[in-house]
Structure 1
Amino acid sequence: MWVSVERYLFNKVYNKLKSNPIIRKQLDGRVFDCVQKDAVYPYIVVGETNVTNKETTTSMVEDVGITLHVYSQARNRDEASQIIQFLGFVLNNEIEIDYYSFIKSRIDTQEVITDIDQYTKHGIIRLVFKYRHNTLQRSVTNGAG
């Protein structure tokens, strides 16, 4: 059974952002995996993922999309736009994951909208990563078996 790279990639992206010195300094490390109720702005959410794969009897290649959200309450859209641009710069490259070979990454979409409260600026960027499985993993809970 092939085990998707999705969970490992999500964790790598999350940890890469949490440990980034610029994010730690500028956003005080405010990177989360869900929207915050009583938030200090701006902050980043590593959000939704989706996976499409191409499997043969001897190999598996996956495209994993990860959507990141930026929430800002600055007066204009510039703060959210700058953070989105920075996320694309930091993440649109190889992320090494054991048992998987990175093929490529790309920015799929990015936008800044005004949320329903008419004040919060909501930046959205979706990146797609392509990985090839190096081994057939037999256990879902503990990696390679």
Structure 2
Amino acid sequence: MVSFLALHAAVYQRLINDAAVKALVYKDTKFKGVYDALPNDAPFPYIVIGEPNESDFDIKLKETVETSLTIHTWSDKTGKTESYKLLQAVSDALSAFLIVTNYEVDYVKKVRTSVFDDIDGVLRHGVLTLEYTLTKI
């Protein structure tokens, strides 16, 4: 059972519609600031929905999966403050109740959060990994 598409769609919709996230990244209808495939001309700051991973397990005849999803934030501002704000907004948005098509969200856990200077010395890269426990409905 692969929940990637349903979880990705729910996460994307939540992020593009969340007021705090929009206040930080939204530019216009072309550049919503949240991407799966990053346009070459995307303005900073922005958020990229990254790599999913999944492990199946069954609980009392229920199809259950643990799906982790990594979210990346990118900022070109000096210092890490903007990256911290981006990660906080994303974390808050995705920690709230999420509706995932064909799944019940049993649990969400923040696995890892980090911010580091990119190799170019200009960009700040934030990384947030969340783990969702989902049961097929």
Q: TM-score range by the shorter chain?
A: 0.7 to 0.9
Paired with 1:127 and 1:47, the residues of 2 have a C-alpha distance of 11
Partner amino acid for 2:115? V
CA deviations over 1:114-142 (Å, ceiling 9, x no partner): 111111000000001101112xxxxxxxx
Gaps of 5+ in 1: 135-145
Paired with 1:27 and 1:83, the residues of 2 have a C-alpha distance of 8
Q: Provide TM-score, normalisation by structure 2.
A: 0.87
The answer for the alignment partner of 1:24 in structure 2 is: 22
1:36 positional shift: 4.0
CA contact (8 A) 1:50 1:66 kept: yes
CA deviations over 1:18-59 (Å, ceiling 9, x no partner): 122333333123111134433311000011111111037832
CA deviations over 1:70-95 (Å, ceiling 9, x no partner): 10010001101111011111101321
Please tell me whether residue 119 in structure 1 is matched to residue 122 in structure 2: yes
CA contact (8 A) 1:112 1:121 kept: yes
Distance 1:57 1:20, change over 3 A: closer
The answer for the alignment partner of 1:59 in structure 2 is: 62
| Structure 1: 4+ residue segments shifted above 6 A | none
Partner amino acid for 1:19? N
Gaps of 5+ in 2: 27-31
Identity %: 22
Structure having the higher Rg: 1
